[in-house]
Amino acid sequence: MQEDLAIPKTSQEATLAKEKEVGKEGHPLQEPDKSSDALAEAHDKYLRLYSEFENFRRRAAKEKLSLIETAGASILKKLLPIADDFERALESLQAADEATQAIQAGIRLIHDKLVHLLQQAGVQPMPVERGMTFDAELHEAVTQIPTDDEDMQGKVLEVLEKGYLLQEKVLRFAKVVTGA
């Protein structure tokens, strides 16, 4: 115990004694915990920032792909009424005489080319039939008609305008009459 209280004679002994005392109290250079905590915190921030960037990159790529898939949706949507007009013209010409058979064949050819073009662009007609259950995500109810048949309540009674899908997404809702 007297050694601790003794006054050192050389500067080297003084430095060693001072280091012993400082070592007991906790010298800043002897505390690696603070610097390792700062390093761990900086590494954690880096990982979080990197993860956020990766998520952003994936989300941007997904949005870009979605835009590419549906880029022509507005043009295709404008072509759908033309296809409807061709179908109505073909229906009205079916009851015509032989002189109009050539006209009917020409209109059918144009209609088939248009339908083929739409199919190549990814447009598919929506399957809608009489008796199907009304689905608000696919159908647009134009009107409801009271029906005596309870099985037809809430079901499609008539399809007024076909609906179309573009890459599994609704391009145009099917306009239907439902039973009430």
Cβ-Cβ contacts under 8 Å for 63 (sequence gap 6 or more): none
Give 52's pLDDT tier (boundaries 50, 70, 90).
very high
- Average per-residue pLDDT in the chain? 79
Strand order in the sheet with 174-179: 139-145, 174-179, 156-161
pLDDT > 70 in the chain, percent: 78
**Do 87 and 115 meet the contact criterion of CB atoms below 8 Å apart?**
no
C-alpha distance across the termini of the chain, in Å = 103
Q: Residue 101: pLDDT above 90?
A: no
Instruction: Choose the most confident range, by mean pLDDT, from 40-54, 73-87, 115-129.
Output: 40-54
| CA-based nearest residue to 175, from 81, 45, 49 | 81
pLDDT, position 55: 92
When pLDDT is averaged across residues 32-57 and rounded to a whole number, the result is 88
pLDDT score of 28 more than 80: no
Nearest one of 140, 157, 139 to 148, comparing CA atoms: 157
Alpha carbon distance 17, 30 (integer Å):
16
Q: For 124-180, CATH number?
A: 2.30.22.10
Q: Where are the domains of the chain?
A: 124-180
Which tens digit of pLDDT belongs to each residue from 151-170?
888 888 888 888 988 888 88
Query: What does the pLDDT read at residue 18?
Result: 60
Q: What is the pTM of this model?
A: 0.51
Max mean pLDDT range (21-25, 56-60, 87-91, 129-133): 56-60
For residue 27, pLDDT beyond 60: no
Q: What is the pLDDT of residues 54-71, one digit of tens each?
A: 999 999 988 888 777 767
How do strand 164-166 and strand 123-125 relate by DSSP bridges? antiparallel
